[in-house]
Structure 1
């Protein structure tokens, strides 16, 4: 099997629902086509702003990042896609490794810190999110909260932690454990995690709601879901709290959403313009205020949410480009019964 065929087979293993095509502009052959692995409810607004700000008609296809990556690899040079907008660095890296992303100009790359862009310049982060432990302070004290990977697999947490096995952020987290700690450590940790009988949920929101409703003591999620819940319901109505794990432990992984321009497309200038817009102050403030993510452009701060600064989180030091090694992660998850 060729390298490209293996990559397609790998990413197709992530697929769980059909790709949904949605037009956010006039569409047609001259429209800029974005394959978005980000949910329309989260980023539809900023993609509408992109169309208005750039004057370029935009057509968007929504699905999971794995779906969009697989679609790009299947379509090859015949794809209509111009931009890949991904939920995580892993999917971007997988597509870039197959030569499907073009190198971005330096004036775009320089808008974000070096750690938030590909080493070869083929993708750039648009926002960042931190892995956190959501917990119920009514049943869990701060002293009991996990401070490391080892704490999560302590028998005292048996049946008391939720996770979302099909979620890309969970898979990226496990990949970070492999990259940072090695294959044998990751294999043993997953075995111990599975033995602790974690509770399976469809997504981060379901985990957060279960903790808030008193059905689950704690769960592994991304930070911004909590901020969205507080914004919707008010702080007094939300019981669940967030715990950040520091000390460079993978439990505190800071991952990114990002974008890249499809190599060989006929609308390269418009595609680069779109990626540049996603790093503009207008778009970065959208991510900061509307989705409660960390802007990739460090000069932009949220005026709505009181997020701890990224520099205060002390997450693991990791090359996000290495999160593309999904094949090994999926194999370990399947072996441990956690896929």
Structure 2
């Protein structure tokens, strides 16, 4: 779901800055007042308010199936994941949301750090590999996406095996990226966690000197496909969606999954968390289990070409490498919540 760049950046900063404020004041709430507020919220397992950072066009069909499968009446508020996380942080124990469906793990990590997510049942958590769920057991990944390098075979025989190669002189003016895109910023956050702020800033300055900025991942892929640039940093599913839409013979660009645990091979997750103060725990937990069901997991794999994360469900997308074959860096995805520092580095590097 596209949003103005300035609005997204402001939302990310707001979410990051709200965490310590709300965490500090959360313990000072008057218990009676809190109980009265909760009494006004939806009750029972028949109603559920979802704050969804996932696109309405994408998610509404599966939420309609969720309603039917669980017998739950669903009301959905759509928006940018960072904006919605900031809203939930601001609402605190007054939130009307029972479930937060985030496009990325960072926003879930922010809510977890603020203590606003409820522990999920172990049976739900065990459906997903620990790498794709919160360390506190309060959120779980639903679908995954890998960062890759797209390349044009007419411009280069193959793509580099590391993002660190992209700052070398031979790639000057030949790399495309989307610095204001949330997935790029999540990758940079991951790089900070893995390699530290100083090394990341040095890399960002090198990339800025070498690369051409674009507004979105899809535009980066188009630029690679047309030969405007030789390489592009994107999420894997953009290429698979383009191939599905146009046919493999109509797509010049190829993609390269980076080896060796390179930061550029980060696998991020879209996921869900039950709001502790939403008063809709039973309905929300049923929704979590449905989103991890074979029907829902297959929907995401087929519709968005993302990786299903629930055990026992595999993708049917042609030529998509198996998830367990990817050499992603080992990282606690919950730590991707430190977006404010990432934005500061991007600004210092002249990218935003």
TM-score normalized with structure 1 length: 0.89
1:246 and 1:252 in contact (8 A); partners too: yes
1:99 to 106, 115, 125: 115
CA-CA distance at 1:11 after TM superposition: 2.6
TM-score normalized with structure 2 length: 0.86
Q: How does 1:102-141 map to 2 (within 5 A)?
A: 102-141=118-157
1:77 alignment counterpart: 93
Q: Number of residue pairs matched?
A: 317
Larger % of helix: which? 2
2:14 alignment counterpart: 10
1:329 alignment counterpart: 342
Matched, 1:269 2:285: no
Matched, 1:50 2:63: no
2:53 and 2:78 in contact (8 A); partners too: yes
1:109 and 1:117 in contact (8 A); partners too: yes
SS in 1 for 2:238: helix
1:169 to 176, 183, 191: 183
1:7 and 1:94 in contact (8 A); partners too: no
Report the Cα distance in structure 2 between the residues aligned to 1:322 and 1:285, rounded to whole angstroms: 28
1:20 alignment counterpart: none
1:32 and 1:57 in contact (8 A); partners too: yes
2:262 and 2:329 in contact (8 A); partners too: yes
Matched, 1:247 2:263: no
1:161 and 1:219 in contact (8 A); partners too: yes
1:17 alignment counterpart: none
1:85 and 1:259 in contact (8 A); partners too: yes
2:209 to 182, 195, 199: 195
Q: Which runs of 5+ in 1 are unaligned?
A: 1-5, 14-27
Q: Which runs of 5+ in 2 are unaligned?
A: 1-9, 18-40
1:220 to 219, 229, 233: 233
1:152 alignment counterpart: 166
Report the Cα distance in structure 1 between the residues aligned to 2:162 and 2:316, rounded to whole angstroms: 31
Cα deviations across residues 216-245 of structure 1 (Å, max 9, x unaligned)? 222101001111111111111111111111
Report the Cα distance in structure 1 between the residues aligned to 2:109 and 2:125, rounded to whole angstroms: 16
Matched, 1:284 2:297: yes
Q: 1:58 to 1:168 in 2, by over 3 A?
A: same
